[in-house]
Amino acid sequence: MATIRDVAKLANVSVATVSRVLNNKGYVNADTKKRVNQAIEQLHYSPNDVARTLFRGRSKMIALFVPDIMNPFFPKLARAVEDIANKNNYTFVLCNTDDDLEKELTYMNALKQKSVDGMIVVSSRIQKEHLDKINVPVIALDRIFSSNLSMITVNNYEGAKEATAYLQAIGCQRIAHICGPETASNTMERLRGYMDVVREKEWFLSSYIVSGEYNLQKAKEITMELLMNHPEIDGIFAANDLMGIGALKAAESLGRRVPEDLAVIGFDGIIDGETTSPTLTTMVQPIYDMGTCAAEMLIEQINNQALPKKNREFPVQLIERQSTKRKRDANG
Amino acid sequence: MATIRDVAKLANVSVATVSRVLNNKGYVNADTKKRVNQAIEQLHYSPNDVARTLFRGRSKMIALFVPDIMNPFFPKLARAVEDIANKNNYTFVLCNTDDDLEKELTYMNALKQKSVDGMIVVSSRIQKEHLDKINVPVIALDRIFSSNLSMITVNNYEGAKEATAYLQAIGCQRIAHICGPETASNTMERLRGYMDVVREKEWFLSSYIVSGEYNLQKAKEITMELLMNHPEIDGIFAANDLMGIGALKAAESLGRRVPEDLAVIGFDGIIDGETTSPTLTTMVQPIYDMGTCAAEMLIEQINNQALPKKNREFPVQLIERQSTKRKRDANG
DNA sequence: GTGAAAGCGCTAACAC
DNA sequence: GTGTTAGCGCTTTCAC
């Protein structure tokens, strides 16, 4: 592989001149420039990124930390971040953490040693003090894990309220909630939204709240248990779509008709909700936009570390599909 | 951030000695070693990976190229590669290419400049000559795109034959095939398998073969068209699960009962096939194992570039689910 | 056993 | 305008 020295020799100039041409910095005679460019062409030269990184202390590389790449929410997010990264000539690195603090820290250290320029982090575990050692811009996404960090979130609380109220509006008498991992702030907000709608209802029981993980299989199991203990339940608000699909599967196993006997609403708006039968009503998050926003915000902060931290909250939107729809048709 | 020089100063040794301790290479007095380690500890020193990479010309980084991270097949694959990478202290980079040659080449060049150590590539576009410029080990996965490269594939041809024969065995009289992008070798193999079963049948029409992309929405559309043109079709072999789910959706839209009126079988074994109603019968690929195998093979080749190219073909396995199952119950 | 010094490929002062 | 050179942080000969 050709180096800058080879180019310099061939063009009969010094490496400094080549560097100037390469970076469009400083004066260089038009003729000389042409000669250098010819030499570059001829040698198929392209500058070694590692050497640049070593010198600059910056790598033009950003990372996205996600807890579970198999949850379709995250590929979509990754896609958005990747697109923005590419557009700005950044290399994109995806880190799958299993929501495991040790894995997260290992990755962070490894990336720091590679002079990563910034990170977008979806984590329930990371604390402020872990970030102190890592001296690069960090954007928190989806789950809040520290104050004085730029954050991208959705209006989980309002969305959860709306979802629960909607189930009421279509005629559900007993509404249960399947919530996610307690360590995740988004889950807690969604729970709070649900609670604020149902708390004062005479029918409400704390056993209408069951908790699992953001995971289909587990959600199916706990929903089956829930429905067997409480056959009166006719509406379920699941804290995310994966769990909503699990609830759908549970209903199917138990022979409960959806939406006639049981209405189900999810949260996220991952594509898969459309592939189920019945399709899943859900509170849609603008996943791609969130990823885009996070990446742009990160790059902005990389370019100017002194910039004040920003927060951005996206709205969620109710999309009615089959898992609730006919119920409203029947009742109103 | 502390450098090796800081450590050397604190431990009262030269940087060479610190380096020796760091790499466990060359003789170093036990006492000195202890002093160095203490200094390392005290300064929270950890070696700069970029400098190492520059010196060594190797980055301890491997990349995976996938055409579509939103297809659940690929997150699962990515997960496997990531696990093996981590286990061997490699950094893992995921590149989403949209099956677009230009994006693929851009990524390859960028990674080459970052001294990437090797790549696993799922591509229909890349040709041998593109790889010649990139002087690192490459493993081709899922789709063959060049000879004299190590390759990981599944037995697409046999699997397709088995899938088609299975539809016959459960009583289908008219079996159609929805195939994937023509540029992908795996699709062509699956088509060949299908053809070898149906070619001689008196009922076979070439219009029973429709082609789309590996994409749900498109598959739904072409399946609807297919079923409207050919209402006699009672079995569909889709070239992958995403398209199989699309076929399921098409049948639902047209009021065709699955599996009673129409049996559907897919290919891949992505989780989502289980979440549909009816669940999707499919030819399961050992996705995780394939990723593991590819990553291990790659690391092996990185460690010894002289190693001969290897091929490995994995078997696929028929998993019966609801989209075909009752049919067999009824008929046999 | 340990240290001095060259060099991986690049950039940016600083000279001229 | 262009060249010389130090240095980014590390590893590895080659002396001693």
Q: What is the pLDDT of residues B321-330, one digit of tens each?
A: 999 985 444 4
Residues A244, A245, A248, A254: what is their CA dihedral angle, to the nearest 10 degrees? -110
Q: Which of A100, A107, A275 best tests the B interface by mutation, with the highest count of B CBs <10 A?
A: A275
Tokens coding B195: 């053809």
B56 CB and strand D closer than 7 A:
yes
Query: A201: distance to nearest CA of chain B, Å?
Result: 33
C-alpha–C-alpha distance, residues A269 and A173, integer Å: 25
Tokens coding A49: 């990124």
A39 CA – C5 C1', rounded, Å: 32
Give residue B193's pLDDT band: very low, low, confident or very high (50, 70, 90).
very high
Tokens coding A155: 């209006």
B95 CA – D1 C1', rounded, Å: 42
**Per-residue pLDDT at B277:** 84
Contacts of A50 in chain B (CB under 8 A): 50, 53-54, 59, 113-115
Residue A232 backbone phi and psi in degrees, to 5: -75, -15
C-beta neighbour count of A53 within 10 angstroms: 25
Cα three-residue angle B128-A86-A305, rounded to 5 degrees: 145
Residue B12, amino acid:
N
Which parts of chain A register pLDDT below 70? 326-332
**Per-residue pLDDT at A223:** 97
Q: What is the pLDDT of residues B41-57, one digit of tens each?
A: 999 999 999 999 999 99
Q: What is the mean pLDDT of residues B136-147?
A: 88
Bridge partners, residue A61, by sequence: A91
- B91 touching A (Cβ < 8 Å): yes
- B69 touching A (Cβ < 8 Å): yes
Give the burial class of A189: count Cβ atoms within 10 A of its Cβ; 0-12 exposed, 13-18 middle, 19 or more buried: buried
C-alpha–C-alpha distance, residues B317 and B25, integer Å: 48
- A46 touching B (Cβ < 8 Å): yes
Helices (H), chain A: 4-11, 15-23, 30-43, 49-56, 73-87, 101-113, 128-133, 156-169, 185-198, 216-229, 241-253, 287-303, 322-331
B49 CA – D7 C1', rounded, Å: 17
- A115 touching B (Cβ < 8 Å): yes
- A100 touching B (Cβ < 8 Å): no
* Cβ <8 Å between B275 and A276: yes
Q: What is the mean pLDDT of residues B289-304?
A: 96
**Per-residue pLDDT at B144:** 80
C-beta neighbour count of B302 within 10 angstroms: 18
CA of A5: nucleotide with nearest C1': C9
**Per-residue pLDDT at A4:** 97
**Per-residue pLDDT at B296:** 97
pTM equals 0.92
**Per-residue pLDDT at A331:** 45
C-alpha–C-alpha distance, residues A29 and B116, integer Å: 35
**Per-residue pLDDT at A132:** 83
C-beta neighbour count of B24 within 10 angstroms: 8
Residue B230, amino acid:
H
How are the residues of chain B apportioned to helix, strand and coil, as percentages rounded to the nearest 5?
A: 50, 15, 35
Residues 6+ apart with CB under 8 A from A211: A178, A179, A180, A181, A182, A222
Give residue B214's pLDDT band: very low, low, confident or very high (50, 70, 90).
confident
Strands (E) across B162-220 are located at: 175-179, 209-211
**Nearest-CB residue to A277 (from B49, B54, B276):** B276
Residue B247 backbone phi and psi in degrees, to 5: -65, -40
**Per-residue pLDDT at B326:** 57
Where is B290: in which H helix or E strand?
A: helix B287-303
Tokens coding B241: 């699960």
Segment 259-298 of chain B within 8 Å of chain A by CB: 271-272, 275-278
